[in-house]
Structure 1
Amino acid sequence: MPDDAALPPLNGLRAFSAAGRHLNFRAAADDLGVTQGAVAQQVRGLEDHLGLRLFLRHPRGLSFTEEGRTYHAAVSRAFAQLAEATDALRRAPARATISVTPTFASKWLIPRLADLTRAHPGIDLRLTATERVASFHSDGIDLAVRQARPPFGASLRADLLFTQDVIAVCSPALVANQDLPLDALAFSRMTLLHDTHDLWPKFFQSAFGQSVDAPRSLRFNQTTLSLDAALAGQGIALASRFLVARDLAEGRLVQPVRCSLEGGLDFYLLAPRHIGSGAAAQVRDWLLGLARDEAGEAG
């Protein structure tokens, strides 16, 4: 790879390129918006840098030397490539990459992406769904949504999106013949849907002041799967209220017992202290605004 220090001065190359197009210093000066003397001086400086003559000077204009003609063709190609690359960069959509958990992606973010597209049609959003901790630098992540608790590192900006207000939900068909709210005995006859958080023991203590021995259960490694099973009428699941708010409002899910549990790990929007792109800042503002609106409606 050539050393940048060995490259000719850019102004000299621009002057040489323009002069070579017109074979005239005055016309080149008009192209570049500088004086004829400035163009002539920059070309002489380039020739001195290279140690050879690129033009033959004539009373009415210029002509290439053999070396100058070959060099001009190469310089012209290089400037054309730079112009094409710059134009492509300007036309490329603004990009933002957000890392979220699979449950947050499927149950909250994806159903609302059309709203983001309408609000910011020029943003190319890249969505990464993973449970693992993402690195903003090495993974190329602009924003992340994770369940966590303060404090956070000084290099991070952390904004609360939703509290972990955990409720029980199931398909209305599952409890169609039951008196609601269910009591502890009724729960003991139901199938419980477990995820990795395993909050059922705490939930039962909060709801009934006692443990419940439910002989039937299904276990999943992600909350989104337990919620899909609940929607399919396969049992009762636990989930943060905001994740199921639309399903509750539209009657796809019901609460079999009126109890909520503070889970302790709230949902935070994380970003580097200094957000790198304008697109990421716009997505961050949109997420925070939407979360604020939905929290206000719930309240």
Structure 2
Amino acid sequence: MPQLPPLNGLRAFDVAGRFLNFRAAADELGVTQGAVAQQVRQLEAHLGVPLFERLSKGLAFTPAGRSYHVFVAAAFEAIRNATEQLKPEPGKALVSVTPTFAAKWLIPNLPDFSAKHPDIDLRILATEKVSSFHGDGIDLAVRQGRPPFGASLDAHLLFRQEIIAVAAPSLIHGYSLPLDAKALSSIPKLHDSHNLWPEFLNLNNIEDDGDHGLRLNQTSLAVDAALFGQGAALVSRFLVEAEIATKRLIQITPKVLPGNQDFYLLSTRKTKQNPAIDAVIAWFLEQAER
């Protein structure tokens, strides 16, 4: 295999390339300006290619140096990220959730968490992608599904899936509650990526006589549209309990679509070595029970 360039030279080149200045690079690295310049010269000698043009007021990349720096900087960033994932950080917890769970349940409840655990840095990764405990460095994940999720994962039940139909008072003004089959068939409906309205209506032997309705890619957006009176939405009950309690949304029919994919908080066995993770798990379970 080809010999690797001198690592000290690569490090000096990486930092000098960010500042385009040997003195600023020396300040960050905690060495002398002359040492940085020498390490870069040794790297250039090893490569047989000049990487910088030395100017009176600093440095400028050569074309080869600019291209090489992109790869060198990316390599050091990858090493930093791998090291961060390897080292447990006391007092910090990264939890992966969907954007809808974050917007409609987690964020509204965060003031309670901050009040009870001011010493814990809770970080939220809101994504529709299934995050990897190893690859993405997450400590906890809220997932919808059924156990088992994996031999190395512990699953804590948060919420049973219970889909209900909700709408703003303005949308159903003049209707009698609960809506009868005719009214439920005719009102405008909001559709998200789960597309549950056909199943919900078929379960109750109702044909959809409404317009096609607005289609959105996230349940949180369907809930927001429902709040503005743009249609009725189907959503897990726990996500809209606050809106129902304040009568910003109303459950328009007692009919419920049961689900077979409940909401679980997942953790790995190794996260139990971190007291902060245990505290976050306990808080999630306490809030879910409430």
Q: Which range, TM-score by smaller chain?
A: 0.5 to 0.7
C-alpha distance in 1 between matches for 2:261 and 2:191 = 17
Contact in 2 for aligned 1:184/1:212 (Cα 8 Å) = no
Matching residue of 2:99: 102
Aligned pairs for 1:1-299 within 5 A: 94-206=91-203, 208-275=204-271, 276-293=273-290
Matching residue of 1:28: none
Contact in 2 for aligned 1:96/1:277 (Cα 8 Å) = no
What amino acid is the match of 2:230? Q
Q: Secondary structure at the match of 2:213?
A: strand
Q: Secondary structure at the match of 1:174?
A: coil
What amino acid is the match of 1:152? F
The percentage of counterpart residues that share the same residue type is 54
Unaligned 5+ segments in structure 1 are 3-91, 294-299
What amino acid is the match of 2:226? A
Unaligned 5+ segments in structure 2 are 1-6, 9-88
What amino acid is the match of 2:286? G
Name which one, 1 or 2, has greater alpha-carbon Rg.
1
C-alpha distance in 2 between matches for 1:260 and 1:177 = 23
Contact in 1 for aligned 2:159/2:264 (Cα 8 Å) = yes
The two structures have a TM-score, normalised by structure 2, of 0.67
Q: Tell me how far 1:247 sits from its aligned partner.
A: 0.4
- Structure 1 runs (4+) deviating above 2 angstroms are 208-216
Matching residue of 1:69: none
C-alpha distance in 2 between matches for 1:113 and 1:209 = 41
Q: Secondary structure at the match of 1:166?
A: strand
What amino acid is the match of 1:100? V
C-alpha distance in 1 between matches for 2:235 and 2:112 = 24
What amino acid is the match of 1:149? R
C-alpha distance in 2 between matches for 1:152 and 1:138 = 17
Please give the root-mean-square deviation of Cα atoms over the aligned residues, in Å: 1.8
The two structures have a TM-score, normalised by structure 1, of 0.65
What amino acid is the match of 1:245? E
What amino acid is the match of 2:91? A
